[in-house]
Amino acid sequence: MLSQLRVLEPHPGILAFYDGRVAGHRFAAEPNWVDDGALSLGIASYALIAGGQAIVYDSHVSVPHGRFIRSELERHGVTDIRVVLSHWHLDHVAGTEAFADCQVIANARTLGHLTARQAAIEAGTDHGLPVISPLILPDTVFEDRMRLDLGGEPVELISANIHSDDATVLWLPDRRILLAGDTVEDCVTYVGAPEEFDIHLRDLNRLAELGAEWVLPNHGAAEMIAQGGYNAKLLAATADYIRHLQAADPRPMAEIIAPWLKDGTLRYFEPYEAVHAQNRARVQAMRAAIHAL
């Protein structure tokens, strides 16, 4: 199960636990949300380490993945672990049982989503198999912003509505590093609520105003994450793509994002064609519903 899990170190004291984007590699033979929504696109969870302390940003796609992260941290001498959840989607919370004795932090919307869906997630009827049982809920909740200290370095938790309405990003102001969760992806964002495009654009602009020099997404190219991450243009590329969806741009995905492919901000990755098709279908369904009123 963990044969393709790679440990990257994009910056000193920041580990990325990356799985997926490997041809022929699957979590399970039968259809499942781990392969379809995570490994097919490539996924990273992160850990920030300072001495004996660590902040884990998402617990990965399974309990074995979570246990691997924890064992790697312990190998580094970590004894005090806090977990921050980027949002409620299953590929980000599935491994939390491995940290059941640790503080688990999320924003209030994330707790609300997980609480409402807990029975279905544990039964495998929310997004299908595999089940996540028990589902470990956050025990520490914040609104809008929260500040943590990691060995003297400030770590700011910032809520946003991009990709999902309960996103939490991690901002390291001293190093100008933004751990972005699923608010941005390479090569296009997944859109669950096109009726909230204006909010997504507002919050992307709010994140851009932080002035990040490095952006570390959960879904991106392993080689980019390994070399430190993306630059802030990834935020601009995401906003540009959303505007094209708003305008019902009929062109293929590769044409829409062509300027960002040309300047190296994005890398074309064929599995995102399915994401783009789903995004377009949701936009069309929203427009049809509006016209039917």
Could you list the residue range(s) of the whole structural domain that residue 26 is in? 6-292
Here the tokens at position 70 are 């924890």
pLDDT given at position 24: 86
pLDDT given at position 224: 98
Which tens digit of pLDDT belongs to each residue from 122-165? 999 999 999 999 999 999 999 999 999 999 999 999 999 999 99
Domain assignment of residue 1, yes or no: no
Structural domain count of the chain: 1
Domain assignment of residue 63, yes or no: yes
pLDDT given at position 290: 85
Domain assignment of residue 159, yes or no: yes
Domain assignment of residue 110, yes or no: yes
Note the pTM of the prediction, 2 decimals: 0.97
Which candidate, 104, 128, 152, places its Cα nearest to that of 32? 128
Dihedral angle over CA of 266, 272, 275, 281, nearest 10: 90
Size of the chain in residues: 293
State how far the alpha carbon of 163 is from the alpha carbons of 159, 188, 212, 225, 262, in Å.
12, 11, 19, 20, 25
Here the tokens at position 150 are 């990691």
Domain assignment of residue 242, yes or no: yes
The sign one gets for the Cα dihedral 95, 100, 101, 107 is positive
The pair phi, psi for residue 119, each rounded to 5°, is -60, -45
CATH number at residue 87: 3.60.15.10
Domain assignment of residue 207, yes or no: yes
Which candidate, 167, 249, 257, 171, places its Cα nearest to that of 216? 171
pLDDT given at position 89: 98
What is the residue-level pLDDT of the chain in tens, covering all 293 positions? 688 999 999 999 999 999 999 988 889 889 999 999 899 999 999 999 999 999 999 999 999 999 999 999 999 999 999 999 999 999 999 999 999 999 999 999 999 999 999 999 999 999 999 999 999 999 999 999 999 999 999 999 999 999 999 999 999 999 999 999 999 999 999 999 999 999 999 999 999 999 999 999 999 999 999 999 999 999 999 999 999 999 999 999 999 999 999 999 999 999 999 999 999 999 999 988 888 87
pLDDT given at position 212: 98
* 14 SS3 class: strand
CB of 258 within 8 A of CB of 178?
Answer: no
The pair phi, psi for residue 197, each rounded to 5°, is -55, -45
Dist. CA 247–CA 250, nearest whole Å: 9
Dist. CA 189–CA 163, nearest whole Å: 7
Element (H or E) spanning 274, and its range? helix 272-292
pLDDT given at position 2: 86
